[in-house]
Structure 1
Amino acid sequence: MIIHTLGGKQTDSYAATRHYLDQKRIDGKIVLHPSFEEIYDQIAAFAGDYLLVPAAFRSQSGSSWGDLHYKYLTHLDLVDSFITKLDTMVVAKRSAPRAIAYSHAATASLLKSLLPSDVELRLAPSKVAAYQAFLHDGRYVLTSQKLLGSSLQDIQILKKLPAKMLWSLYRII
């Protein structure tokens, strides 16, 4: 079994795929991609493989899991679903000259609701990518707490957000 999902190994998608394979006792291969959009754009090339995607997925162009479920109905067969606990998400802040916030598209509305209205919100393909961009020029980020590690010298955690996720496993036709 070959499962395509969002990478790298720090993502919730990788952890969920690993969880699924372990729970089902399947010796599968995980193929990590820099974005779900890349997988969907090349879906026909992966016929016979599988795709694992979170139900809360939203593309950077605004397409939801439901939009993509129906758009790719002839290429994807929903075969399983399960729930996992996500790594605790955090809203973090650091000193930066411009009021820029980074988020994955799926969590953008949540982050926007927690910040001052004058903050410029920028989207990233994953919470990992959002954190990396935040370190470059961001003031705020919504990301996974584990990414912060112990390097909190300049970073303040404003809010912790524990969450669960519903995952969808598709066979690619």
Structure 2
Amino acid sequence: MRVVNTLGPKETDSYAAALNIPGEEENEIVIHDNFDDIIANLEQYQGEYLLIPAAYQSKQKDFGWRELSYEYWDRLVIEQVFHHALKPMVLISNFDFHQNKAIIHPATTNLLNHYLKEQQLTMPIHYAGSKASAYERFVANKYRFTIVSEDVMEENNPYQIIKRYLPEMVWCLYFIK
């Protein structure tokens, strides 16, 4: 059985993609709070696998899938690349916000920045390890904006959907040497 490390919780696109890795191999899926922790501790996962989207973007400025591919070329071997669409995502607003800030997953920064520029808004942006954890913090801390997978929103929530996104995604399954 192949051990596949990816982003959690189970509501994430990464977990959904891990459940849909093409092939006959059985997978044990191990979820993590963020990709950065997996990458920083690759030696702990030798002989296992990492499933990561091509859109991976770290909380660290200027570190994403491109940098991962070049910096860790000698520790990560691409075993498989496949397409699996992301869940529909939404930019939501909280009109009863207490913090005039946004909380998002780093990979969605361009989407938020495009909207803020369009609206001529500026505000601090905080980052979470996943869109699901961004939503939890958005609700708990009454942020003004977030971008989340639409299916994590509770029914009858008080938030307004401002934009909907339907991006495609390519996933990379790496063997960790």
Calculate the TM-score normalised by the size of structure 1. Answer: 0.94
Counterpart-to-counterpart distance in 1, 2:132 and 2:146:
10
Which one is further off, 108-117 or 79-88?
108-117
Size of the aligned set, in residue pairs, is 170
Classify the secondary structure of the residue corresponding to 1:51: strand
> Which SS does the other structure have where 1:74 is aligned?
coil
CA–CA separation in structure 2 for the residues paired with 1:140 and 1:82: 31
- SS, match of residue 108 in structure 2: helix
| 1:140 alignment counterpart | 145
Q: Given that residues 99 and 118 in structure 1 are in contact (C-alpha distance below 8 angstroms), is that contact kept between their aligned partners in structure 2? A: no
8 Å Cα contact 1:12/1:87 also seen in 2: yes
Question: The residue matched to 2:156 in structure 1 has which SS?
Answer: coil
Q: Distance in 2 between matches of 1:49 and 1:110?
A: 33
Structure 1 unaligned segments of length 5 or more: list them: none
Deviation of 1:88 (Å): 0.3
Any unmatched runs of 5+ in structure 2?
none
Of 164, 168, 173, the residue aligned with 2:172 is 168
**1:163 deviation in Å?**
1.2
Q: Structure 1 runs of 4+ off > 3 angstroms?
A: none
Task: State the Cα distance separating 1:149 from its structure 2 match.
Answer: 3.1
Tell me what 1:18 maps to. Answer: 19
Task: Report deviation, 1:25.
Answer: 2.7
1:112 aligns with 2:113: yes
Paired amino acid for 1:127: K
Q: How does 1:8-157 map to 2 (within 5 A)?
A: 8-20=9-21, 23-62=22-61, 63-94=63-94, 95-115=96-116, 116=119, 117-135=121-139, 136-152=141-157, 154-157=158-161
Aligned-pair CA distance for 1:76: 0.5
1:75 Cα offset (Å): 0.8
| Secondary structure of the structure 2 residue equivalent to 1:119 | coil
The alpha-carbon deviation at position 69 of structure 1 amounts to: 1.1
Q: Output one character per residue of 1:118-172: Cα deviation in whole Å (capped at 9) or x when no partner.
A: 22211111101111111122111011000113132x1110111111111001000
- Once residues 109 and 123 of structure 1 are traced to their aligned partners in structure 2, the CA distance between those partners, rounded to angstroms, is 13
Q: How big is the alpha-carbon RMSD for the aligned residues of Structure 1 and Structure 2? A: 1.1
